[in-house]
Amino acid sequence: MNTQLKIKTGDTVKILRGKDAGKTGTVSQVFPSLQKIVVDGVNKTIRHLKSQRRDEKGQRLDFFAPIHISKVALVCPKCSKPTRVAYQLTVGEDGTRQKHRQCKKCNETF
């Protein structure tokens, strides 16, 4: 399985499916082997923890659960629209090749 994802940490994405469809947020974590990402403010989940001792109370932990990569679209920083990602290869003066991500709608490299 290819573990390279087109969405990186710090990117702005729009949610396409699920209970948070239409919301936008910033990617805080990426799990390439699972093909999932964690988006701030999206897919909030509550985890209940039992107390470890008799005199303690239980806890509720709020966290943002991972969402599958196919349920989000990258938002272009220039045109501010959800878009697909293309790759552009450039060759430097010293012969090194670099791979840049590119917006499919406005052809802006980011």
Q: State pLDDT tens for residues 64-78.
A: 999 999 999 999 999
The two structure tokens encoding residue 45 = 């989940």
The two structure tokens encoding residue 13 = 């994405």
Segment 80-92 mean pLDDT: 93
Helix, strand and coil in the chain, % to nearest 5: 5, 45, 50
Residue 39: closest CA among 26, 20, 49: 26
The CATH number fitting domain 1-75, selected from 2.60.260.20, 2.70.180.20, 2.30.30.30, 3.60.21.10 = 2.30.30.30
The two structure tokens encoding residue 33 = 């082997």
Four-residue CA torsion sign, 102, 106, 107, 109: negative
Show me where the domains of the chain are located. Answer: 1-75, 84-110
Please tell me what DSSP assigns to residue 70: G
Model pTM?
0.83
> What would the pLDDT profile of 15-71 be if each residue is shown by its tens digit?
999 999 999 999 999 999 999 999 999 999 999 999 988 888 999 999 999 999 999
- Please check whether residue 71 is in contact with residue 18, taking contact to mean a CB–CB distance below 8 angstroms: yes
